[in-house]
Amino acid sequence: MLNIERNSILFRISLAFLLIIVLSSTFFYILYKNAKETELRDLIKNAVLLVSSDRSGLSKNIESNYELIEDPEFIYTVYTKGSIELERDFLTIKIFLIKYENTHYVLVNQFGISYLVKKKGEFSLHRIVVIGWVMFNLVILGIYIGIVKSFYPLKVLREKIKALKSGNLNVSIDIKNNDEIGFIAKEFNEAINTLKKNEEVRKWFLRNIAHELKTPITKGKIAIELLEDEKGKQHFERIFNRLEFLVNQLMTVEKIASKDLKLKFECVDVKKVIENAISLLLSYEKPNVHTVFEETLKINVDVNIFSIAIKNLLDNGLKFSEDGKVEVIVKDKRIYFKNKGSKPPFDKELLFEPFIKETSLKNQTGLGLGLYITKFILDFHNVKIDYTYENGENVFTLDLSQVVC
């Protein structure tokens, strides 16, 4: 069954058909009233002719279509029990239009003698109008049902697009119509096949580049052990540790996206998760993170993967903070990350897109993947993230209400 939304084409079509039915019903009602009035006028006119004229001079049409009733008892019953709808009094004739048991009669009183006249048969003009109205509405209803059914493939297409939007590439549309909808379905299936191929190339590229980068990073870490300059040694060590962490992040996210990684969800204290994330920071960064726990909270997450998301938010806060510090507050089933600094120079919607980054001196070495990876991990855990800029502070908020245990 189709759900008709107010802004949809089907809703407008439904309104158009409803208007057609209302207008046509009004038209047929007017026809019905006119036909009924015409029949009653003809009944009265022909009843008077039948009673007052010489039978030999009457047309065969009147004699064959109208019945003259002279039974006094029946005439009295109709007159006393029927509903008088019209009464006319002429010089020598008095006429009554009476409805009795869903049948119209004309009572003609001439020279003190009463006659009752009714039309023979059941097939009359007003019934033809009613039949015409029913047939017309059935045709309109059939056309409307046909149009609604033709829109059903669009509902299927919409559901498939929703599935595609959520990241499911294993979708296809089995619509074999030879119309525009069928052509769209065919193009959609071809687009899905192209996306699948591109996704395979992307996975292959990420896996290979991560593998190729790990070898020189490992060799570099071995080589720096040979350096005698302690200051230079620490500098290069930070660089290689950072590169190794980024490569591991890319590999982890790629495994999540390809569903090769099985997350280990467990109910843990949020404090433990945040402390685990802080431990991933470089040693000189750790003292710059100030934590405030206003409540004790346990969440159902994969500690290692969720810690990466927290760590990225800490990295982001430390990097763009004016004083080099970030504050983490846990309260009301939320985690707030606050740092003093300027507002990002692009729209809020672009914050979590890949390769979107600030081009300041603070971010010359960034790839623009930190918040994208964070959003990816949080979506996987069903945790919503929001960004606001308040009183000169950048504030990222994680809503943990769906993962509280």
Q: pLDDT (tens digit, 9 = 90+) per residue, 378-388?
A: 888 889 989 88
Asked if the model's pLDDT at residue 227 lies above 80, the reply is no
Q: Considering its fold, how many domains does the chain have in total? A: 2
SS3 269: strand
Give the residue from 93, 127, 161 where a domain finishes. 127
Task: Please indicate, yes or no, if residue 311 is contained in any of the structural domains.
Answer: yes
Assign 3-class secondary structure to 66-84. EEEECCHHHHHHHHHHCEE
Crossing angle between the packed helical segments 370-380 and 303-319, to the nearest 10 degrees: 150
More confident position, 30 or 222? 30
Tokens of 130: 């009613």
Q: Classify residue 212 as exposed, middle or buried by CB count within 10 Å of its CB (0-12, 13-18, 19+).
A: exposed
Examine residue 57 and state whether it is found in any structural domain, yes or no: yes
Domain-embedded: residue 343 = yes
282 found inside a domain: yes
- Confidence at 359, pLDDT banded by 50, 70, 90: very low
Query: What is the phi/psi pair of residue 292, to 5°?
Result: -130, 120
**Model confidence, pTM:** 0.48
In a domain, 391, yes or no: yes
Among candidates 373, 112, 396, 378, which has minimal Cα distance to 247? Answer: 373
Where is the domain boundary, 97, 127, 157?
Answer: 127
User: pLDDT category, 61, cuts 50, 70, 90?
Assistant: low
Q: Under 8 Å CB-to-CB from 392, ≥6 apart: which residues?
A: 340, 341
Greater confidence (137 vs 113) lies with: 137
**Identity of the residue numbered 94:** K
Report the first-to-last Cα separation within the chain, whole angstroms: 38
CATH code of the domain covering residue 388? 3.30.565.10
Residue 322 pLDDT > 70, yes or no? yes
Alpha-carbon gap, residue 185 to 166, rounded angstroms? 19
59, amino acid identity? S
Q: In this structure, what is the dihedral angle of CA atoms 188, 194, 195, 196, given to the nearest 10 degrees?
A: 110
Helix, strand, coil percentages, rounded to 5, for the chain: 55, 20, 25
Range of the domain at 277: 266-399
